[in-house]
Structure 1
Amino acid sequence: MKSLVTCVVAGAQYLLHPQKLGSIQEMINPDSIVPVTLLSTSEIFGDVDGLLRLYDIYDDVFTPEFGSILVEKPEGNSSDLNIVQNAGNMQIQKLYHLGEVATMAGMGELPSGPYFLHGPNLHQAWKLYDDDHEAFTFGVIPEDVNGAEEFRAVNALSSTGTYKSIPVPSRLYRPPPNTRKPLSGLRIAITDTLSLSGVQTTQSSRAWSSLGASVATSTADFVQRLLDLGAIIVGKTKTSQFDAGLDWVDAVQPWNPRADEYQTSRSGSAGAAVALAAYDWVHHSVGHEGIEGIGSSAGSTGVFSMRISDRAVSSAEHDAPGSYHGLSITDRYIVTLYDAVSAIHGLADHPSTLLPTRIIYLLDLLATGPNEQQALNNAFVSSLENYLGIKAEPLSMANTWTEQPPLEANGADMQEYIGDASFRLLCYESYHHFGQFRQEYGNEFHRQPFVEPTVRYRWEIGKLLSHGDADELRGRLDIFRKWFNQTIMPIDSYATSATIMVLPWHMGEPKYRDEKTEPPNAVHGFTAELLATVLGTPYLLVPFAQLPYESRISDNTEYRPFSGSIIGPRGGDLMMLRLVQRAFELADWRSTVDTGRLSFPLGNNSRNVDDQRVRITKPPALSSSRDQLLLSKPQGKIDVAP
């Protein structure tokens, strides 16, 4: 395995991808590291200044320093010049010529853009971003930039040595998203529990990592699908211990960037949500849904999150208990979340997507809270009603169960029949899922592994349940799903009509990361995330407001994001996203969130959102005409490397 080389250009850290892509014909110092721009002959002798300025606007990896030295791709009409001076300004650039050259899969030739010469050899330039919010377990790079079949973890640190650094490639290395590769060039972070060939799964557990046997030898099918669609996997994000812990003992809890920056990022796939809320260089992240999934973290960090239908996810996708294998995609833009989910399902964009004919407003999860939160829940429902032209129906599952119970319940009410069945089944499956780990750790170290109190509590419950008990719990949940589908709303298909269920959101009091966690306890009934997980339905979480509180950390008024949430039928993922997008457009609400302390610019309305300051809904495409961009001319002469 080749060692990794890093360097600094214009104050920013870079990594030279270790794969050699070609060599220049000229002789230079074999130890030198030189930033260069690779261009074709026609690009060099065309409007090279305008092209380099376009690169600087579009690509966060490229800086003007890369444009001081050019490397010419071999063509039939290649030049024999060694300097380029453009008429109209004083800029002079040194010119090298590429001799031996590799080809990029599906592209025929190396794409133009920023590279490094390490001696005479050409390498891709990957920019290193500081993970100063501790969202990532580690960054990754592919061993082969052509294939992305094997990966390696990157252990580079920030310039201060305080944080990990996450490598990202130039946006110029891939074409913009297209029909064949709808995720082309998009940077995606995946949750730690998803397998990625060549790198470790850590479970945020020192004991788990110490066994050293958790390096994946294959990539999860879901992740491979992302890669096949053109995505760039930039790293693995943190989950709480065994996707269940609350205390963050063996790993640093990701830092929620919102409000006073000391609000907890919750448990489960916290790193996936924090990465989107903190870093604009990440386009999407993938998290796990369950009792502690990405839903609560996405809510606390104010990002859009879609739990995709179970038909798109295999139960063996990641290292987590079997009945709780839902995956979510998070984004800062609802329109690009739609694009990503559409690509994952392999569906084209259908403007005539069937819209719901019925809205249910679930009363069972309606918590007593401040009037302003109830008003915001009502405003979210009203936005959907106004777009669809129908009224929501308040509904209680418990009351409906009493009136129309399943025969198998034998007269038991819903709380008695379901109770904590989903929680106990999770405990059983978690205990047995990690049984081999406990055995191997005991054999290796002659002691039991450390696990956090919540994990231990659940394993103790799971230990007491028999295989027959687990089958009974699964049977009860199967009966509940059948009853829900027949009595509450159809969830098995999305064909001729559709019903959606709005789940009221309750934000609770500010939860600071320095506060002691509550003792572990059982989960009775359903949370919003757990209901969708048990049903296997899509679940959409959408931030649309922010509420003030007085922070004991900053001594200032800070703002926390507030969200709405929807459950829909399996296969109705795109319908739900399109519905919210159009409803927000009709209401003149923002359908994008910002990175940093505020999800939205502050506004003077009940939602505390300035809807006038709406950012561009999609990143600009390089294919945009240069004539549409106002490109300023650089002044003066640029020094070149000898």
Structure 2
Amino acid sequence: MRTSLALLATATLSPFATALKVLSSTGDSAFAFALANATYYSPATAVASGCFGNTGSCTTPDLLPLTVLATNATTITAEALAAVVSMYASIDDVWSEAFLENGALFLANSANATLDSSAASWMNSYGIKYLLVTERLDVSGYNSSSTTVIHVPSSWDLQPGPYTFSFDPAGNAAICQAYALHRDNYEAFLFGVTAVPNTTAYAPVGLFIPSYQDAWIPVPSRLYSLGDSRPLAGIRVALKDIYDLEGVQTGGGSRSYAEVYPVANATAVSMQKMLDLGVVIVGKTKTSQFAHGADPYQFIDIHYPWNPRGDGYLTAASSSSGSAAAIAGYDWIDMSIGSDTRGSVRKPAALVGSYGIRPTWQSMNLTGVIPLATEMDTAGFFVRDPELFLTVAGLWYEGSAVPVNTSFTSLPSTVLYPVDYFPLNNSAAQAVFDTFLDTLEEEFGMTRRTINISATLSAAQSLSPGITNATSFQLSSNRLAEYVSYHEVGIPLIEAWNATFPGAGYPPLDPNPRAAFARSMNLTEEDYEDAMSIKNEFRDYFLANILRPDPETCSESIMILDMGTGGLPSYREQALNARAGATSLTVTQVPGGGPSVPSNYLASTAGCPEVGIPIGQVAYDSFISLQEEYIPINVDMVAAPGCDGMLLEIVRRLTELGVAKEVKTGRTAF
């Protein structure tokens, strides 16, 4: 049987509730549906509609699952169709053969072709109701009493994969993409998003599970990117909610902020670069407010994410905790985006056991990103796979305003071992570090050199007291962040809040930014300049005396650090961290070692690159599950500014040696 869209008004159409069951609607022509015990989402905007591509919706009474199947065969046989279906099933985790069963099929042939008569029995085996074809496909030899052939415009050039097909007796038809819906049971996300077809914008997805209020996150088919030659095509990304994404609200972890500002009308420059490389965004992840550091129990506006590792009650640090929890918890995303000012990628990466990077400062344009401390802010990311880590880092920071791949002819021969922070409080974790150091010595020919950074700084008579005194140094660094955040974020927010809600008073904020803004009210520009002078003085001394640049190795040495908790559990509940066997997140130095510059401040203040590598896991006795659990162990490597490429080369060689390897999602990293 052969017909066209315009003739559907004369056809007798039966409802199709058995294969595609609508579960809920968002009120904007989008809906969720069930198919073969899985849940999917159909967005409001069609990728193809009507007879001539006019705008349509997917909410007409007749709905079918549809598969766009692409083939280069000039004679399309049952065997050719079966081969493509087998290939689709092997590479995708969204599409399944359920989209064929009692559904519709769009044959997207790239060249003029003929449909072989053997295809009829193949389609009948799936109970395919409608076959959509363009004029490039000759169906004159096709005959099936159970399948209606519909000729669609050649402009309907759709990517392979799963869709929904809707039409009405008047001949109005629409095809929408179908996303797999995954429950965010770790509460890493604020909400999911989908790309709006034929635009540069995204749209939020307002679907939640009523019993738990967990968000449903829409995940696009990998088949949509089959013909995309861009290097990161189809890579699924979770995005920290301090980055603007066109069409989506930026909240920065604050209900007040989201209340008074409109949705973003442009995507952050750094994320647009990612999109241009081919990635797809699946949702916005949680952050501590405005990226200020905060403990789990200080998250008031939004609920703190759950760290998937161990007993599920471990901290994932902040402020990129949502992105870290997502990459450690869900195999349906490939990468998550964070930011690092004083450790907001490095610490979460260490606590969930993923790869993470703080690049050289100023390596990325941060326009469209909520600032914390512009003199230290960087854009970083998390992944589970070292190969992807190397690929993304090599592409995202390419063309940087500052060098990130300074040339080197050999690797450093020295690895700095700061005794301020080693040995770790957990001997099993220390053993993991020792094994890694052995690898650097045996495989890379590096020599371990101990150094006490705090003692070195304290003894440097040329340095100001703002550096030689560890407490003063931390306060100065805090001042940099607080001043910028207050003037760039706080003051505009307060003004917008008062303009929107006259007489409402001060906007509600979480404890840390509220306290930081209160302190900043009394800071002058001179105070800020003094803090900048201390930062720059530290940077100059650090790069002249500790991590010196080198013309042959880029960095004369590398330094290893622990950005985690020394292998001891640190819980999301404050009281548990006071018990024997647990620790506060910030306690990583040797007990009784005296005041020490926090290890995460070193790279931040000196503008250095730092990469985190998961290298093992150690057991602990859980106060929650009352059984033995495992906590991941990461090692961080720091080098002189611009030596990102050299650090990545070490990661590449560690990958070849099998030291750096892919980590799993869930309770254990390995």
With the length of structure 2 as denominator, give the TM-score of the two structures.
0.80
Q: CA separation in 2, counterparts of 1:196 and 1:397? A: 41
Q: CA separation in 2, counterparts of 1:498 and 1:12? A: 54
Deviates more, 1:505-514 or 1:554-563: 505-514
Secondary structure of the residue aligned to 1:39 is strand
| C-alpha distance after superposition, 1:214-268 (max 9, x if no partner) | 4212111100000111111111110012222331111111111111112222221
Matched, 1:464 2:506: no
Is the Cα–Cα contact under 8 Å of residues 237 and 280 in structure 2 kept in the other structure?
Answer: yes
Matched, 1:542 2:613: yes
**1:18 is matched with which residue: 37, 44, 47?**
44
Matched, 1:97 2:149: no
| C-alpha distance after superposition, 1:448-503 (max 9, x if no partner) | 12222222232232222211011011011111111111111235988755521111
**1:4 is matched with which residue: 25, 30, 36?**
30
Secondary structure of the residue aligned to 2:574 is coil
| C-alpha distance after superposition, 1:192-216 (max 9, x if no partner) | 00111111111222222222x1421
- Structure 2: tracts of 5 or more residues without a match: 1-26, 52-57, 135-150, 168-172, 579-583, 588-594
Superposition deviation, residue 522 in structure 1: 12
Give the letter for the 2:236 counterpart: R
Q: CA separation in 1, counterparts of 2:431 and 2:505? A: 53
Matched, 1:138 2:195: no
- 2:419 matched residue in structure 1: 363
Give the alignment's Cα RMSD to 1 decimal. Answer: 3.5
Give the letter for the 2:279 counterpart: A
Is the Cα–Cα contact under 8 Å of residues 13 and 159 in structure 1 kept in the other structure?
Answer: no
Q: CA separation in 2, counterparts of 1:335 and 1:76? A: 36
Q: What is the 5 A alignment of 1:202-213?
A: 202-211=251-260, 213=261
Residues 310/368 of structure 1: CA separation in 2 closer, same or farther (3 Å cut): closer
Q: CA separation in 1, counterparts of 2:599 and 2:193? A: 33
Residues 89/593 of structure 1: CA separation in 2 closer, same or farther (3 Å cut): same
Matched, 1:121 2:171: no
Is the Cα–Cα contact under 8 Å of residues 617 and 631 in structure 2 kept in the other structure?
Answer: yes
**1:449 is matched with which residue: 491, 500, 507?**
507
**1:560 is matched with which residue: 631, 645, 657?**
631
**2:444 is matched with which residue: 363, 388, 396?**
388
Count of residue correspondences: 588
Is the Cα–Cα contact under 8 Å of residues 293 and 529 in structure 1 kept in the other structure?
Answer: no
Deviates more, 1:116-125 or 1:93-102: 93-102
Secondary structure of the residue aligned to 2:83 is helix
Residues 399/52 of structure 1: CA separation in 2 closer, same or farther (3 Å cut): same
Residues 237/103 of structure 1: CA separation in 2 closer, same or farther (3 Å cut): farther
Superposition deviation, residue 349 in structure 1: 11
Residues 216/351 of structure 1: CA separation in 2 closer, same or farther (3 Å cut): same
Is the Cα–Cα contact under 8 Å of residues 42 and 179 in structure 2 kept in the other structure?
Answer: yes
Q: CA separation in 1, counterparts of 2:556 and 2:289? A: 38
Residues 176/488 of structure 1: CA separation in 2 closer, same or farther (3 Å cut): farther
Q: CA separation in 2, counterparts of 1:542 and 1:65? A: 40
Identity %: 28
Residues 494/10 of structure 1: CA separation in 2 closer, same or farther (3 Å cut): farther
**2:347 is matched with which residue: 271, 275, 296?**
296
Secondary structure of the residue aligned to 1:47 is helix
Q: CA separation in 2, counterparts of 1:208 and 1:419? A: 28
Q: CA separation in 1, counterparts of 2:635 and 2:120? A: 57
| C-alpha distance after superposition, 1:309-357 (max 9, x if no partner) | 2242124341122234212111001111001111112389999974323
Residues 48/459 of structure 1: CA separation in 2 closer, same or farther (3 Å cut): same
Give the letter for the 2:570 counterpart: K
Instruction: Give the greater-gyration-radius structure (CA).
Output: 2
Superposition deviation, residue 74 in structure 1: 6.5
Is the Cα–Cα contact under 8 Å of residues 355 and 612 in structure 2 kept in the other structure?
Answer: yes
Residues 529/496 of structure 1: CA separation in 2 closer, same or farther (3 Å cut): closer
Matched, 1:273 2:273: no
With the length of structure 1 as denominator, give the TM-score of the two structures.
0.83
Residues 72/318 of structure 1: CA separation in 2 closer, same or farther (3 Å cut): same
Q: CA separation in 2, counterparts of 1:378 and 1:387? A: 14
- Structure 1: tracts of 5 or more residues without a match: 601-642
- 1:431 matched residue in structure 2: 486
- 2:389 matched residue in structure 1: 337
Secondary structure of the residue aligned to 2:393 is helix
**1:589 is matched with which residue: 651, 659, 667?**
659
Secondary structure of the residue aligned to 1:261 is coil
Give the letter for the 2:537 counterpart: I
Is the Cα–Cα contact under 8 Å of residues 163 and 177 in structure 2 kept in the other structure?
Answer: yes
Q: CA separation in 2, counterparts of 1:521 and 1:390? A: 30
Is the Cα–Cα contact under 8 Å of residues 309 and 668 in structure 2 kept in the other structure?
Answer: yes
Is the Cα–Cα contact under 8 Å of residues 460 and 468 in structure 2 kept in the other structure?
Answer: no
Superposition deviation, residue 115 in structure 1: 1.9
- 1:373 matched residue in structure 2: 429
Deviates more, 1:15-24 or 1:517-526: 517-526
Structure with higher RCO (Cα < 8 A, 6+ apart):
1
Matched, 1:163 2:163: no
| C-alpha distance after superposition, 1:387-446 (max 9, x if no partner) | 21121211223343355554x638983537735311222122222221111232234332
Residues 74/258 of structure 1: CA separation in 2 closer, same or farther (3 Å cut): closer
| C-alpha distance after superposition, 1:344-398 (max 9, x if no partner) | 1238999997432332222333366133233332222222222211212112233
Is the Cα–Cα contact under 8 Å of residues 362 and 504 in structure 1 kept in the other structure?
Answer: no
Residues 71/511 of structure 1: CA separation in 2 closer, same or farther (3 Å cut): same
Matched, 1:195 2:244: yes
Superposition deviation, residue 29 in structure 1: 11
Q: CA separation in 2, counterparts of 1:516 and 1:382? A: 37
